[in-house]
Amino acid sequence: MILGVTLVPLEGTQETPPIFCVLCGDGAVADGVLNVGLFLPLGAALTIGGSRPLRALALGAVLSFGVETAQFVIPGRDPSLSDLVFNTLGTALGVALARSTALWWWPRPRMAGILSIAGALSAASVLASTGFLLRPSFPEDTYYGGWTPRFGHLEWYGGRVLEASLGGLEVPPGVLARSLQVRQELLSGAPIHVRARAGPRPSGLAPVFTIHDAHQREILLLGIDGDDLVYRYRPRALACRLQAPEIRVRGAMRGIVWRDPVSIVVRPTGSGYCVRVNTTEHCGLGFTVGAGWALLLGSPPGSLWLQPALNPGWLAALFFPIGRWARFSWAFAASVALSLGGLLVLPSFVGLLPTPATELVGALAGSLAGWTSRKAGESHLRTN
């Protein structure tokens, strides 16, 4: 699994960070967390298989070093000291978890109650952090407007922008003399209005209207990907070196052909967004508590068909430990209350959309899966 994930050639899309730098570049923290998660099962498997801790750690480090060395000649792969450090850390964490299963996988009743409350608090913290990190963050800088700009890692849109404005303030291509006012309009939630002539349907994401700053940081992007309209803005997550997800309106451009007039309006509405394309409006767009996975993965094209399952799956993984540690006691009642508060009450306070039924089912399924796994394990132990 590790070799398959790390040695497949990729199309390079970002500037290569320095090799001997740890946690450098955009998304470095997200990459570090993913590297830990990738090597954690290896450390656990080696320990369960009988390897001593130092031997397991050494094997993980050697494998990581081999992978990073091989990436020097694999297109689109960027070897780095940061990957080596976090791969080895993941191996060490897997070893530690495997050697302490009696404490957290089969805890005594009192410890299980403590762990269930801690698990519920941790899950609520993740949900709250999701809302905080997805809030817009627009740095003070000189801004630049882009009308169908050309970026090397994106498609080029063959249409023509006729007008772009932000809350009535014109945003022409090139340097924006009123950058401070543009930033204030963005922070105040001013609607974005773009009037254009449609181009040929792009095979990948093609920007129609963008705003960047003098440090080449993307402030916002409004683009077209096939029949979909894509909107993304700069969230706080990027300052924390995590990933930035996108808002995708599926089929919004369907029926619009080359040279047709197009009017696009994006406006914030409470915790979400409404997007109007010509006379058709799509509302209730935005992020929910289940979008936390996107802070680690972003919005990779390969996940589009999987996305309906990713949000419930993320919540199922978060709530699995709570079910595993559940015992019918006051601690169980407290963990249930904390969980329900995180799912039903918390979103409105952290700027997220209300939790949909599918994500509530995902959280419940994760808890039931944890509880079932414990019961099945106890039954197996009794029969043996």
Residue 371 burial by Cβ neighbours in a 10 Å radius (0-12, 13-18, 19+): middle
What is the extent of the structural domain holding 219? 143-286
Average pLDDT, the chain: 92
* Helix or strand holding residue 274 (H, E): strand 272-277
Q: How far apart are CA 344 and CA 359, in angstroms?
A: 11
Specify the DSSP class assigned to residue 226.
Answer: T
Residues 85 and 109 in one domain: no
Residues 167 and 80 in one domain: no
Strand order in the sheet with 174-175: 174-175, 143-147, 206-213, 218-225, 228-233, 247-249
Residues 129 and 208 in one domain: no
pLDDT at residue 327 is higher than 90: no
Residues 87 and 127 in one domain: no
Please report, for the domain that includes residue 155, its CATH number. 2.60.120
Residues 217 and 339 in one domain: no
Q: How far apart are CA 81 and CA 66, in angstroms?
A: 12
pTM of the model: 0.90
Let me know: does 84 contact 61? Beta carbons within 8 Å: yes
Residues 298 and 278 in one domain: no
Residues 156 and 259 in one domain: yes
* Alpha-helix runs per DSSP H in the chain: 2-6, 28-48, 53-70, 81-99, 101-104, 109-133, 179-187, 236-239, 294-297, 307-324, 330-340, 346-349, 357-383
Confidence of residue 262 (pLDDT cuts 50, 70, 90): very high
Residues 293 and 188 in one domain: no
- From 255, 286, 317, the end of a domain falls on 286
The tens digit of pLDDT for each residue in 279-318 reads 999 999 999 999 999 999 987 655 566 777 899 999 999 9
Number of domains observed in the structure of the chain: 3
- From 254, 286, 318, the end of a domain falls on 286
Residues 274 and 149 in one domain: yes
Residues 125 and 207 in one domain: no
List, as own/partner pairs, every contact residues 107-113 make where C-beta atoms lie below 8 angstroms and the sequence separation is at least 24, other chains included. 107/325, 109/327, 109/329, 112/325, 112/326, 112/327, 112/331, 113/325, 113/327, 113/329, 113/330, 113/331, 113/332
Question: Lowest-pLDDT range, 3-12, 156-165, 314-323?
Answer: 3-12
Closest CA to 301 of 161, 193, 204, 368: 204
Residues 242 and 301 in one domain: no
Measure Cα distances from 214 to 12, 27, 141, 207, 211 in Å: 23, 20, 6, 18, 10
Residues 56 and 73 in one domain: yes
